[in-house]
Amino acid sequence: MTNKGVLIVLSGPSGSGKDSLLQQVIANGGDIALSISLTTRQPREGEVDGMHYYFTTREQFEQKLASNAILEHTIYNGEYYGTPKDAVDAQLAAGKTVVLEIEVEGAANIAAQYPDCVRVFLVPPSLTVLRQRLIDRRTNTLEDIERRIAIAKQELTHAPGFDYIIRNCVLTDAAADFQAIIRAEMLRDKTILDEVMNL
Amino acid sequence: MTNKGVLIVLSGPSGSGKDSLLQQVIANGGDIALSISLTTRQPREGEVDGMHYYFTTREQFEQKLASNAILEHTIYNGEYYGTPKDAVDAQLAAGKTVVLEIEVEGAANIAAQYPDCVRVFLVPPSLTVLRQRLIDRRTNTLEDIERRIAIAKQELTHAPGFDYIIRNCVLTDAAADFQAIIRAEMLRDKTILDEVMNL
């Protein structure tokens, strides 16, 4: 019997470590399928189209939006970010644990469309540490950083609506937290009782 | 900041392996507190009050029963055995993960008193395997065994009301499942957000 997969929505402020967390989970051998976002922003150095993001034009993105082929989208720093719905549905149907890494505002839209999804909010150890992380990236101006901190504060107000909060103090611990959530959530499946009764 | 601990109710049919599971979790270094039973029987040599059991008189036990200070109880060889509510509450207040191993019928009573408790149902791989385990114990007549299987079937009908189902095929896997549930449930605590915002 094949069961439908679990959809995990991973969200949290910019700089909370979502990318690093998922890389660590995959390095640990965690059996997760990542959805790849479509975006109109320019690739950063080292980012590969079809691996980190699908990069596209504004015109093409808006065409897909108009045909409801995008599960959720947001505009951040003036650029579109979206999740192609067909790819997610195919992975869930195949019984995979699908992780959607999305901006905080987009998480509510996903939950509305997938009521059984599991929402995980990743937070930095503190706002002070978050500020330092953004400074360490050396790609932001001080003005950018203060704006991001202000956004993070606002985003943190959404955290209580999530199912789980992971505080990313040590990456390996945070990854283990995430894997424990996946393992536990799979134990919510009641269909195994049929097998127990009938074998 | 100290948070309130999580109460885990572990239940499942006789022969599903509840005792072995908890022993394995403790052997793994799992940080769980088992509740200590209150009993009216005499201490045996080497038994320490407050460690193996809390020892008390029949009169005091019945007073506690009357004042709802006992969460669940049973009578064995004419002596009372019960779970004292105050001890469980003290452990929870100290932030501990408290595990109560309870008969299936008793689990609903605990859930009524602790609505935030996490209910875990342990099942054998199959009824066929359960029958074999009971045969292997060599302490049951065939009639006993069939009666226990009938009880197990009835108890399994309660499983869908539990939060998590662990199918105990391999003990070490089942213990890891249990520990993942504890780890995940601790991530439901939203109070850490205050620290993140204010540090």
| pLDDT of B1 above 80 | no
Sequence-distant (6+) residues with CB within 8 A of A144 are A134
Residue B109 pLDDT: 86
Residue B117 pLDDT: 96
Q: Which residues of A touch B126 (CB under 8 A)?
A: 195-196, 198-199
* A–B interface: beta-carbon pairs under 8 A: 99
Residue A198 pLDDT: 84
3-state secondary structure chain B: CCCCCCEEEEECCCCCCHHHHHHHHHHCCCCCEECCCEECCCCCCCCCECCCEEECCHHHHHHHHHCCCEEEEEEECCEEEEEEHHHHHHHHHCCCCEEEECCHHHHHHHHHHCCCCEEEEEECCCHHHHHHHHHHCCCCCHHHHHHHHHHHHHHHCCHHHCCEEEECCCHHHHHHHHHHHHHHHHCCCCCHHHHHHHC
**Which of B160, B185, B197 minimises the CB distance to A190?**
B160
Q: Which of B2-11, B82-91, B177-186 has the highest mean pLDDT?
A: B177-186
For B63-72, the CB contacts below 8 A with 24+ separation are B64/B38, B70/B38, B71/B100, B71/B109, B71/B110, B71/B113, B72/B102, B72/B103, B72/B106, B72/B109, B72/B110
**Cβ pair A193:B166 closer than 8 A:** no
**Cβ pair B196:A126 closer than 8 A:** yes
Please compute the mean of the pLDDT values over residues B121-129 and round it to a whole number.
95
**A130-176 pLDDT per residue, tens:** 999 888 888 888 898 999 999 999 999 999 999 999 999 999 999 99
The answer to whether the CB of A118 falls within 8 A of the CB of A170 is: no
ipTM, two decimals, is: 0.88
Distance CA A190, CA A188 (A): 6
Residue B169, CA atoms < 13 Å, CB-side half-sphere: 9
User: Which of A196, A197, A198 is most worth mutating to test chain B (most B CB atoms within 10 A of its CB)?
Assistant: A196
For residue A37, the 8-state DSSP code is E
Distance CA A21, CA A15 (A): 11
Give the position of tokens 């540490």: A129
Please compute the mean of the pLDDT values over residues A114-142 and round it to a whole number.
91
Residue B51 pLDDT: 85
Q: What is the pTM of this model?
A: 0.88
**A69-112 pLDDT per residue, tens:** 999 888 988 999 988 898 899 889 999 999 998 888 878 888 98
Residue A109 pLDDT: 82
> Biggest alpha carbon distance in chain B?
64
Residue A90 pLDDT: 87
> Closest chain A residue to B166 measured between Cα atoms?
A187
Residue B154 pLDDT: 93
Residue A1 pLDDT: 41
**Cβ pair B123:A192 closer than 8 A:** yes
